[in-house]
Structure 1
Amino acid sequence: MEEILIISNYYPPEKGAAANRIEQLALKLNENGYKVSVVCPLGNYPEGRLFDEYKGKFSVTEIRENITVKRLWVYPSVSKNILIRLLSVASFIISLFIYLVFIKSPKKVIVQSPPLLLSFVSVWVLSLKNKKIILNVSDLWPLAAIELKAIKEQSISHRVSLFFEQFIYKKATLILGQSKEIIHHIKSNYPTKNCYLYRNFPEHKVSELALITENHQPIKIFYAGLLGIAQGVLELCERINLDGLAIELHIYGDGSEKNQIEHLLSNGKKTAIHFHGMLNRSELHQRLSAYDIAIVPLKTRIYGSVPSKIFEYGCLGFPILYFGGGEGETIVNENHLGWVASVGNYEDLNAKLRMISELSKTELAIMKKNVFICCEKEFNLDQQIKYLIEKEVF
């Protein structure tokens, strides 16, 4: 059985799209005959503190569904203090560096990027060991950081990040990109680099539509995911207008904006918006089964970014209200998955909500069925993995 290692900053029981994405990749490779191991930090995300089962431990090795998971020491933090955040990042980087230098690893290694510093250190060490490096690029950094105004263009941090980015693209044996924009960006700098599209398709193993459409109930729109700066859910709650509409917005998740969202909703003025906190994936899907539409927002258009929620909830049968710009708009429109509102344009978003409010539950039920059928055909993880295996990517 051929061995392959995955290096990631996130892995279940941590929650969120990044952890789910890497787990699905690991499980699918295992199903296709690979002996898969994962190196990641001790579980701490998104709370920014070690989960109870990892407290007081320097490293942990465990087996999760035939995947060997090696968790290394990290000093976790979600502090806004830049020095504390840097300390947190550096702690896992040091652990990972020691592991890669001194522990024997397979010939083939998948490196997740971002985080950019993690991928730089991984690619650097692995290139010295002549490994086959499969770089899995989910977002373009530092470009995304510039667009989110997290760093300033031509600042020291920007120039250092550009060096890291160029290094990992150059040294990687081949590159997986989650969007056509990512592939185009890399090819524009390294035209001879072997690049392959690898969408973040989910693996639900759902053979038939399991959603319930409740008559005589408001139309229930939900957001489920990270409550961070990039998603802009706080601003969404502030500026969305549901007055006089038979629509409710339900929010599930955790992140840096959680407390502000709870405070905003505590005054009782936003009665159509409900916050439910974080649930594990299976419980969340069960809770969502009686909802109608998934909203997928981004605060600003981020080049290269395609939110995995489009695939995650489309494959369950939810029509998508997309509010993020970029390649995601094309995917929603071309596959007739729902509605697109111009990113950052709340007048357009509220107009789309008024349009949605006029739909009958019968029309919504038909939309759910059509979305489910389309996504089952177009967003197939098994076919994608088998194609990449045939191309000898792994």
Structure 2
Amino acid sequence: MTPARILILSQHFWPETFRINEIAQSLQEAGCSVSILTGQPNYPEGRVFDGYRSTSMGPQAWEGMTIYRVPLRPRGTGGARNLVLNYLSFMASASVIGPWVLRRQPFDVVFVYGTSPILQALAGVVLKHVKRATLVTWVQDLWPESLETTGYIRNPRALAAVGAVVRWLYRRSDLLLAQSHAFVQSVQRMAGDTPVVYHPNPGERAFSALVPDAAPALMLPEGFNIVFAGNLGTVQALDTLIEAADQLRDAPEVRWILVGSGARSAWLAEEILQRGLGERVVLAGRFPPEAMPGILAQASALLVSLVRSPIMSQTIPSKVQAYLAAGRPIIASMDGEGAEVVRASGAGLACPAEDATALADAVRHLRRLAPIERQRMGQAGQTYYARHFEPAALARQLITRFDEARRRVQST
């Protein structure tokens, strides 16, 4: 009972760099017919990409799939108001214009990629009824908890109202997938009778297609290079990284290479300048996913970090999977499930979130290890990745989840 026709609902999609792009490709290669309903690309710079318009709509061919785009308000250069308007505009467009854009297109499954804000799942509920399809929502972030953690909403009544909406959305899905084991209980408390199942984010397909002799897009300098790759945002505890770099002034061979961009890029540049860390902390900029294996392979160690909070301790950042696949030692400066994956895999070291001294000590410890010991860590990570996060295997498992959900719906 393979679902031949899947509609992915995601506010972000190619040419924006999100893991759902590769999941769509893996589902298609596994035999599904995949379409995508999304907005106009504008992440992370906040302006609509060249060749697109915020008010346009319609289909676009990509990698043998069809992307259906609806209008939205770009997120702009920052600020809570701009973000809220960006989120609400997509939710409204996908709910109202989406069914019209997708007219006469039948689907078996509507698959919501539930990054923040989960409120985009409202369009999934609409499309479930319009298309008479099974609705599967993949929870990538816990709401309203994440709103409180990031400080966007602090008013208890407002948080309770958001919680009521999320509860309503969860209970109208036919299946809820949780990206970490720790998410399952939190989601289940709000889900009513809707089944909740753990389904992790897969690793990056680019690691499977790596050409060993290809020239890296970024050559790292000589020395002990610690690479941080991904979003440079508020929850990544980048002040802890800066403080640890300051504490390691006695180890001039240690360099921190930050590959990515985000809301704290400007703050990082200023902090590096003020502390005189220009030779030790490098802002390398963003690179496409296909360039990351060649960059990560050069690292002496790979860093993943998060702020200290109950919700962050339940999260497995998607970069963990990429790091495991890269076969390099990992330093996890965070609490909870993400750190436990690093420990359980044997791929590296974990230290408490937002503890700069512990992070600096972990770097010193890893640097003192014999190269063969660090190589064994990397190999252990790759073995764990193959068992738990390989993209093609997880795509097949996802299709099985879809089939099971459809059977339950048809039997009721």
Structures share fold, TM-score greater than 0.5: yes
CA distance in 2, matches of 1:227, 1:60: 32
How far apart, in 2, do the equivalents of 1:32 and 1:342 lie? 40
Alignment partner, residue 168 of structure 1: 169
Q: Secondary structure at the match of 2:335?
A: coil
CA shift in 2, pair 1:268/1:143, >3 Å: closer
Instruction: Tell me, yes or no, if structure 1 residue 242 matches structure 2 residue 248.
Output: yes
Query: 1-side partners of 2:192 and 2:335: how far apart?
Result: 26
Could you list the runs of 5+ residues in structure 2 that have no partner in the other structure? Answer: 406-412
User: Helix, strand or coil for the counterpart of 2:176?
Assistant: strand
**SS of 2:177's equivalent?**
strand
Please state whether the residue corresponding to 2:68 is helix, strand or coil.
Answer: strand
Aligned-pair CA distance for 1:232: 2.2
Q: Deviations over 1:208-259 (max 9, x none)?
A: 99599x9x94221111111111112244224432212232110011111011
Q: Give the alignment of 1:1-394 within 5 angstroms.
A: 2-15=4-17, 19=18, 21-55=19-53, 58-102=56-100, 103-104=102-103, 105=105, 106-116=107-117, 118-129=119-130, 130-152=132-154, 154-156=156-158, 158-190=159-191, 192-202=193-203, 203-204=205-206, 206=208, 210=212, 217-240=222-245, 241-245=247-251, 246-267=253-274, 269-270=276-277, 271-301=279-309, 302-391=312-401, 392-393=403-404
Structure 1 residues 83 and 137, CA gap change in structure 2 (3 angstroms): same
CA distances 1:171-210 after superposition (whole Å, capped 9, x unpaired): 0000111011111222234464222221111223538995
Q: 1:329 to 1:153 in 2, by over 3 A?
A: farther
State the secondary structure of the residue aligned to 2:21.
Answer: helix
Rounded to whole Å, the distance in 2 between the matches of 1:84 and 1:324 is 30
Separation in structure 2 between the aligned mates of residue 166 and residue 220 of structure 1, nearest angstrom: 45
Where 1:163 maps in the other structure, the secondary structure is: helix
- Residue 120 of structure 1 and its aligned partner are, at CA, apart by 4.0
| C-alpha contact (below 8 Å) 1:123/1:168 kept by paired residues | no
The verdict on how the C-alpha distance between 1:387 and 1:89 changes in structure 2, with shifts beyond 3 A counting, is closer
Q: What does the per-residue CA deviation read over 1:104-142, in whole Å, with 9 as the maximum and x for residues that have no partner?
A: 352310012233364342144135434310001011111
Deviations 1:312-345 (CA, angstroms, capped at 9, x unpaired): 1111212211112111122111111100011122
Q: Is the 8 A contact 2:27 2:396 kept in 1?
A: no
Aligned-pair distance for 1:287? Answer: 2.9
Bigger mean CA deviation after superposition, 105-114 or 359-368: 359-368
Counterpart amino acid of residue 295 in structure 1: L
The Cα of 1:77 is off from its aligned counterpart by 2.3
Percent identity of equivalent pairs: 21
Q: Aligned pair in 2 of structure 1 residues 84, 192: CA closer, same or farther (>3 Å)?
A: closer
Q: Letter of the aligned partner of 1:232 in structure 2?
A: A
Amino acid in the other structure paired with 2:237? G
Task: Name the aligned partner's letter for residue 357 of structure 2.
Answer: E
Which has the larger displacement, 59-68 or 248-257?
59-68
Secondary structure of residue in 2 paired with 1:321: strand
5+ residue gaps, structure 1, are none
Give the Å deviation of 1:40: 1.0
What is the rounded CA distance, in whole Å, between the counterparts of 2:341 and 2:212 in structure 1? 23
Q: Is contact 1:48-1:78 (8 Å) kept?
A: yes
Check conservation: 1:209, 1:369, Cα contact below 8 A: no
Letter in 1 for 2:295: R
Q: What residue number does 2:409 align with?
A: none
Are the aligned partners of 2:91 and 2:122 in contact in 1 as well (CA < 8 Å)?
yes
- Gap change, CA 1:186 and 1:93, over 3 Å in 2: closer
- Report how many residues are paired: 388
- Could you tell me how far apart the structure 1 residues matched to 2:385 and 2:404 are? 24
| Change in CA separation of 1:256 and 1:296 when aligned onto 2, cut-off 3 Å | same
Runs (4+) of structure 1 exceeding 6 A deviation are none
Once superposed, what is the RMSD of the aligned Cα atoms?
2.7
TM-score by length of 1: 0.90
Which residue identity does 2:307 align to in structure 1?
A: K
Code of the residue aligned with 1:2 in structure 2: it is A
The one-letter amino acid paired with 2:270 is H
Contact residue 144 and residue 303 of structure 1 kept, 8 A: no
TM-fit CA distance, 1:57: 5.7
User: Given residue 114 of structure 1, which amino acid in structure 2 is its aligned partner?
Assistant: T
Instruction: Return the structure number with greater helix share.
Output: 2
Give, as a single letter, the amino acid of the residue that structure 1 aligns with 2:142.
L
> Which residue identity lines up with residue 154 of structure 1 in the other structure?
P
CA deviation after TM superposition for structure 1 residue 360, in Å: 3.4
Contact 1:317 1:371 in 2 (8 A): yes
Q: Helix, strand or coil for the counterpart of 2:314? A: coil
Contact 2:137 / 2:176 at 8 angstroms: preserved in 1? yes
